[in-house]
Amino acid sequence: MTPKPPPWRPPAWANAPLAVLAGLAAALAHPPFGILPGLLAYGAMMRLADADAAPRPLRSAFFRGWLAGLGYFTLCVWWVVEAFLVDAATYGWMAPFALLFMASGLALFWGAAFWLYRLAKPRGIGRVVVFAGVLSLIEWLRGHVLTGFPWDLPGESWRAGGAVSQAAAVMGVYGLTWLTVAIGAAPAVLLDPAPRWRRGAALATAAVALAGLAGFGADRLARAPASTGPRPMIRVVQADIDQKEKWRPENLDLIVDAYVRLTTAPGRSRPDVVIWPEGALPAVINDLLAPDSPYLHRLTAALQPGQTLLLGANRAGAGPQGRAQYFNSLVAIRRDEVGLRVTGVYDKHRLVPFGEFMPAGDLAGRIGLRSLVHMPDDFTAGPEPRPISPEGVPQAQPLICYEALFPGFTSQAARRAGSRPEWIVNVSNDAWFGATSGPLQHLNLASYRAIEEGLPIVRATPTGVSAVIDAYGRTAPGARLSMGENGFIDAQLPYRLKATLYSRTGEAIFASMLLVSASILGATRLFRRDS
């Protein structure tokens, strides 16, 4: 009998550049690129993790994983340099170091995934599921360690609102990450020396899984109920104020005028709720609403009696020993016959490290570093989030910028409050990202929160992308303002759906997937020991 030839392997010197290329290819699968064949790169990563590298296979596997992560995260988060170029004279020199620090730090998670996978030594066709389990577990850790940064999880490669993305309503994006990695890695077994029928079975299973995801999602979208009955009218204002111009003191009058003009412009009908984005006005809201403020009458004139403004604002408060504290807040302001009243406040709970606060702040201050906020001090984190119920506004869960990245944030807040909100209001300052892929990616990630929760999202940004998103993650027709557009969106608030399985059970299904990976690993190791 003629022995089977060994599987093809690249030369050892090629492993490092192939790892980087695999990471870049996987990143290209994400919107706005949307090159979904890039998901096959997960198969290349699995084979790179399998490759022998004497005398230190674990160290070599870690290095390859780190290189794959470096390629992936460099392309996914390159927009971070734009934040440092807003005030280039002060922070511009940090831009390349910030990207290197961020991408290489996040890549450590993928290095750990390759190391753990190699330590487990899975063999055979079943190692596809083991690889998916290890990488998705590490991605879950990336979303939770320290403050967490779940930007561009592999499961979010699919365009939100499309058929495959609907699976997030059942298993969340961590579960969808497990399936996405397994499906992407499965074709790599065609290079294995295993019998042809086993390799074919693995590929067929992946194809059936992908078809099942697409079929489930298409059926879910086809069954979407038609919107009937009156709904609150929402106006989202996008004034397209460049971040470089926003914090110049002489521009405050022009910025206020821009938002007021768009708020009072004639539209489809009188809006019940007007939304301005995160940090819309470059001033502390306490000062703007003070009785002697020259801006109070202009803000009052922007609203008609009975209207409510949901305004992303910087807010001052008193901290311990009377020390001033600053919050990144969503403030609900209602106009009545007398004037303006604050009817609700939400203070951002999850703050951006280095952007809104400086870790080890005292030490960082002594060596001349500080966060990027244009405030006398770092922001203070707000209390544990809960929905808000301003007068005249359906109960809403605010998500301020970064908070829209976190699966389960809204359902956890609802459980604390004992009531499920009608919608999610997401205010964000994506002007920091400039004209990069960042705002488009952020829109896609935020839209996954709508799918997971079965709740519509109304998203307001200063320079784009603002949108009204239904509970299936789809942007309503005509309800989107792209980057660089100045204008407003008038749209009825979409209906919420019944609570999704994911919003009720959290990560339980994802945990069961990890158990499947662990069980297959245990079974293959037991089989090897007995054979």
For the annotated catalytic residues, the residue numbers are 278, 348, 401
Q: DSSP code of 456?
A: -
Closest CA to 152 of 78, 207, 91: 78
The closest alpha carbon to 131, from 149, 113, 147, 145, belongs to 113
Residues 6+ apart with CB under 8 A from 14: none
Q: Are 182 and 205 spatial neighbours (Cβ–Cβ below 8 Å)? A: no
Task: Return d(Cα 355, Cα 373) in angstroms, integer.
Answer: 6
Greatest CA separation found in the chain?
Answer: 95
CB 278 within 8 A of CB 429: yes
Q: Which of 403, 413, 408, 419 is nearest to 508 (CA)?
A: 408
Give the span between the Cα atoms of 209 and 178, in whole angstroms.
12
Cis amide bond preceding 383, omega within 30: no
Please enumerate in sequence order all residues whose Cβ is within 8 A of that of 320, keeping only pairs 6 or more positions apart, or say none: none
- Of 343, 369, 348, give the one whose Cα is nearest residue 358: 369
Three-state SS sequence of 460-501: ECCCCCEEEECCCCCEEEEEEECCCCCEEEEEECCCCCCCCH
Judge contact between 183 and 107, C-beta under 8 A.
no
Burial environment of residue 415 by CB neighbours within 10 A (0 to 12, 13 to 18, 19 or more): middle
- Angle between helix axes 409-417 and 438-453 (nearest 10 degrees) is 40
Q: In angstroms, rounded to a whole number, what is the distance separating the alpha carbons of residues 17 and 31?
A: 24
Torsion over CA: 71, 76, 82, 84 (sign): negative
CA distances from 320 to 323, 380, 385, 482 (A): 6, 12, 21, 42
Q: Mention every residue, 6+ apart, whose C-beta is less than 8 A from residue 196.
A: none
Q: Tell me the three state secondary structure of residue 390.
A: coil
